[in-house]
Amino acid sequence: MRHRVAGFQLSRTADQRKALFRNLVRELYLHERIVTTEAKARAIRGDAERLITKAKRSAAAEGNRVHAQRQVVAYLNDKTVAKKVFDVFAPRYAARNGGYTRMIKIGKRQGDAADMVILELVDGVTA
């Protein structure tokens, strides 16, 4: 039974899972669109949106900006991507109350029939 069990294991240890989530979120922010399995997309969606909300809140209240930047850098392990979160995504989604990502189902993967999705940032660059 899964009563009161939160989160996604994805058949990985805690360290592997943490690294996977960080890498996927970093790639999402860099390219604004990634192709991954539905399970992985559902697992990282909350983290990706939470970091943008953190950047938005710090932009509104200048006093906590340094602390928020350090938290985002600590999660992403990349200062350039964290800078993009604060300089590009926070202003872009300033008028939006959540829901910064979109999942588009694209069918099954040929090798193992895993459900694949495109996870992208809404109102982003269309290419």
Which domains does the chain possess? 14-121 (3.90.1030.10)
Per residue in 42-71, pLDDT tens?
Answer: 999 999 999 999 999 987 777 678 999 999
Q: What is the pTM of this model?
A: 0.91
75: which 2 tokens? 């999660």
| The pLDDT of residue 63 | 67
| The pLDDT of residue 61 | 76
* Higher pLDDT among residues 15 and 4, named by residue: 15
Task: Categorize the per-residue pLDDT at 81 as very low, low, confident or very high, splitting at 50, 70 and 90.
Answer: very high
Scored b (16 or more CB within 10 A) or e, 87-110 reads: eebbebbeeeeeebbeeeeeeeee
Q: Cα–Cα–Cα angle for 26, 66, 43, nearest 5°?
A: 30
Per residue in 112-124, pLDDT tens?
Answer: 999 999 999 998 6
Burial of 14 (0-12, 13-18, 19+ CB in 10 A): exposed
Closest by Cα among 96, 86, 81 to 66: 86
Task: Categorize the per-residue pLDDT at 4 as very low, low, confident or very high, splitting at 50, 70 and 90.
Answer: confident
